[in-house]
Amino acid sequence: MQDIRIDLSMAVPFAGKEALAEMGKKAELAFQDLTDPEKEAGFKGWLNPMERGEAYRAMMEKAAAIRSKADAFVLVGVGGSNQAARAVIKALQKDGPEIIYAGNTLSAPALQKVLRRLDAKKEIYINVIAKNFETLEPGSHFRVLRDYLIRRYKREDTAGRIVLTGTFGSRLEEIAKENGYTFLEFPVPVGGRYSVLTPVGLFPMAVAGIDIPALLDGALRMKERLAAPGNPAVEYAALRQCLYQEKGFDIEVLAAFEPQLDYFAKWWVQLFGESEGKQKQGVFPTSVSYSEDLHSLGQYMQEGRRSLTETFLSIEEPDGSVPVPKDPAFGDRFDYLDGMDFLEINRAAESATIRAHYEGGVPCFRIFLPTLDAYSFGQLFYFFMVACAISGKTAGINPFDQEGVEAYKRSMFDMLGK
């Protein structure tokens, strides 16, 4: 079980030395503030990953039961309620039920597609995740899916197929009790985008066969690291704020040379976008999937507006191997690849890209994952959540609210006659 490694050496040269030292002090204070149990206790439950007690054991048992029986498991949730689990499942799932995502769109064609996929499955289970059970997508899809399950299995056989994840005391908990559904806790002092280490993220991952103890161990290992001197989350947060506030680097691009990380990037974009995009400020978070996007945004990254920073996630020992077969008589002019493995070729593309972007004026943050596994993901999640909270606080905003998402809802609820 190895630590992930955070390397800021290709970003530091872009910051002013004194400005960075100054920002480092602010970020250190923000971290002390964050870890002070007296302050903002109502928003910081996520600093402590789920404990492995009674509720954990019950959750894992239910997950194992579903895993052994289900052909399809529908994760009904949106934003903070599905991004983390989806990120890990898309990257690591090897077998078990097909995980289908619903409650994350209002498109009729997209919902029809989900229902058609379910038609082809025999044993279906669903998990509805909603902290505030007023969100339209999961609420409306729960209606449709409940109706669907009752038509497929009869009412009395549906209760065992439904798991609800919500806050204690919520309407969702009452619904679970009234109908005999399993209920899991979405802790009140944990915002959606910080909920990966609670049943919100862990339960669907467990159904998909992810190694939950390893993921939690990874998070706890990072927690321990961040408590020691030389905290890399403080350094990363200070540097990105320094580059933003002092030098105008106002877009951060999460980049990886492994498409298995595409959905992790979506989690990351929400984490930073929703935490920092307020008061008309904030670094704009976005992502690229290399090498494909070198043929799309590569030109912009190299020579466009010099306001970009890039955060590379590199996997030191990726899974899999495909050697390039030789074909000497064919004459395709790719003989220089003879006998090489795609693992090497991809690594060469990655090194060359980082060097070219750095030399082209892009500060590059690098995070190395020893391997792509649950333990690395646990570290990564915890690292970025703490770094994001510190970064937001250093910028003088509240990284735990999201008032702006209410604006469109008012006129939408109006139109829908709520």
Query: Any idea which residues carry the catalytic annotation?
Result: 274, 295, 409
Q: Which is nearer to its own copies, 31 or 264 (CB)?
A: 264
Pinpoint the alpha helices (H) of 132-278: 136-153, 171-179, 199-207, 212-227, 232-247, 262-276
| Alpha carbons 87 and 379: distance in angstroms, whole number | 14
Rounded least distance, CB 38 to its own copies, Å? 27
| Alpha carbons 208 and 348: distance in angstroms, whole number | 33
Closest CA to 357 of 238, 255, 244: 255
80 lines the binding site for its own copies (CB under 8 A) = yes
Rounded least distance, CB 207 to its own copies, Å? 21
Q: How many CB atoms lie within 10 A of CB 28?
A: 17
Rounded least distance, CB 194 to its own copies, Å? 14
Tokens of 275: 């935490």
The binder of its own copies chosen from 209, 273, 316, 370 (CB under 8 A): 273
Tokens of 306: 């010099």
Q: CB-based contacts of 276: which residues, under 8 Å, 6+ apart? A: 282, 283, 285, 388, 391, 392, 395, 397, 399
The binder of its own copies chosen from 18, 120, 295, 328 (CB under 8 A): 295
Q: Which is nearer to its own copies, 185 or 344 (CB)?
A: 344
**What is the tally of helices (H) and strands (E) in the chain?**
14, 10
Residues in the chain: 418
Query: Can you say how many angstroms the Cα of residue 301 is from the centroid of all Cα atoms in its chain?
Result: 23
Binders of its own copies among 131-190, rule CB under 8 A?
133-137, 139-140, 142-144, 146-147, 171, 174-175, 178
With contact defined as beta carbons under 8 Å apart, do 211 and 373 qualify? yes
Identify which range of 2-10, 152-160, 320-328, 382-390 contacts its own copies by CB under 8 A: 320-328
The binder of its own copies chosen from 213, 224, 300, 317 (CB under 8 A): 300
> How do beta strands 162-166 and 124-129 pair?
parallel
276 lines the binding site for its own copies (CB under 8 A) = yes
> How do beta strands 284-289 and 182-185 pair?
unpaired
Q: Which is nearer to its own copies, 234 or 308 (CB)?
A: 308
The binder of its own copies chosen from 20, 50, 126, 294 (CB under 8 A): 294
Binding mask 347-376 for its own copies (x = CB under 8 A): -xx-xxx-xxx-xxx---------------
The binder of its own copies chosen from 209, 217, 278, 316 (CB under 8 A): 278
Q: CB-based contacts of 13: which residues, under 8 Å, 6+ apart? A: 363
Q: CB-based contacts of 130: which residues, under 8 Å, 6+ apart? A: 77, 81, 138, 139, 165, 166, 172, 186
Binders of its own copies among 213-252, rule CB under 8 A?
250-251
The binder of its own copies chosen from 28, 342, 368, 398 (CB under 8 A): 342
The binder of its own copies chosen from 41, 68, 319, 396 (CB under 8 A): 319
Identify which range of 41-49, 55-63, 68-76, 408-416 contacts its own copies by CB under 8 A: 408-416
The binder of its own copies chosen from 1, 322, 371, 396 (CB under 8 A): 322
Rounded least distance, CB 121 to its own copies, Å? 18
Rounded least distance, CB 259 to its own copies, Å? 5
The binder of its own copies chosen from 334, 339, 371, 396 (CB under 8 A): 334
Identify which range of 50-58, 59-67, 127-135, 217-225 contacts its own copies by CB under 8 A: 127-135
| Alpha carbons 6 and 370: distance in angstroms, whole number | 11
| Alpha carbons 244 and 393: distance in angstroms, whole number | 14
Binders of its own copies among 11-40, rule CB under 8 A?
none
Measured CA angle at 322 (ends 321, 323), to 5 deg: 120
Rounded least distance, CB 216 to its own copies, Å? 25
The binder of its own copies chosen from 41, 115, 180, 339 (CB under 8 A): 115
- Which 3 state secondary structure label does DSSP give 7? strand
Identify which range of 58-66, 68-76, 329-337, 382-390 contacts its own copies by CB under 8 A: 329-337
Q: Which is nearer to its own copies, 36 or 292 (CB)?
A: 292
Residue count at the site for its own copies (CB under 8 A)?
A: 116
116 lines the binding site for its own copies (CB under 8 A) = no
Residue-wise DSSP of 252-309: EEEEES-GGGHHHHHHHHHHHHHHH-BTTB-PEEEEEETTGGGGTTHHHHHHS-S-EE
